[in-house]
Amino acid sequence: MKINVLTLFPEMFEPMNSSIMGISQEKGHIHFKTTNIRDYSINKHNQVDDYPYGGGAGMLLRVEPIVDALQDQITNDHARIILVDPTGIPFSQAMAQEWSQEEELVFVCGHYEGFDERVRDYVTDEVSLGDYVLTNGELPAMVMIDATVRLIPEVVGNADSIVNESHQGNLLEHPQYTRPREFRGKKVPEVLLSGHHERIAQWQAQEALRKTYERRPDLLAQADLSSEEQAFVDELKGS
The closest of 185, 161, 158 to 174, measured between CA atoms, is 161
Cα→Cα distances 24→104, 155, 182, 189, Å: 15, 6, 37, 36
Topology classification of domain 164-238: Trp Operon Repressor; Chain A (1.10.1270)
Q: Which amino acid is at 65?
A: P
In this prediction, residues 73-79 reach a mean pLDDT of 95
In this prediction, residues 173-202 reach a mean pLDDT of 96
- pLDDT recorded at residue 65: 97
Angle 149-65-116 (CA atoms, 0-180°, nearest 5)?
90
CATH of domain 2-149: 3.40.1280.10
| Residue 188 CA to its chain's centroid (Å) | 32
In this prediction, residues 213-236 reach a mean pLDDT of 94
Q: Above 60 in pLDDT, residue 185?
A: yes
Domain ranges of the chain: 2-149, 164-238
In this prediction, residues 48-72 reach a mean pLDDT of 94
Give the chain's mean pLDDT: 92
3-class DSSP state for residue 44?
coil
Asked whether 109 and 6 are in contact (CB, 8 A), the reply is yes
Q: Which of 40-44, 68-72, 178-182, 227-231 has the lowest mean pLDDT?
A: 40-44
**Residue 69: which pLDDT band, with cuts at 50, 70 and 90?**
very high
Instruction: Tell me the Ramachandran region of residue 67: left when phi exceeds 0, alpha when psi lies from -120 to 50, beta otherwise.
Output: alpha
Choice between 153 and 5, residue whose per-residue pLDDT is larger: 5
The closest of 35, 130, 126 to 85, measured between CA atoms, is 126
Q: What is the DSSP string of 125-157?
A: EEEESSSS--S-SHHHHHHHHHHHHTTSTTTSS
- pLDDT recorded at residue 112: 78
The closest of 47, 68, 42, 45 to 112, measured between CA atoms, is 47
Whole-number Å distance between alpha carbons of 112 and 48: 11
**Residue 160: which pLDDT band, with cuts at 50, 70 and 90?**
low
In this prediction, residues 101-123 reach a mean pLDDT of 95
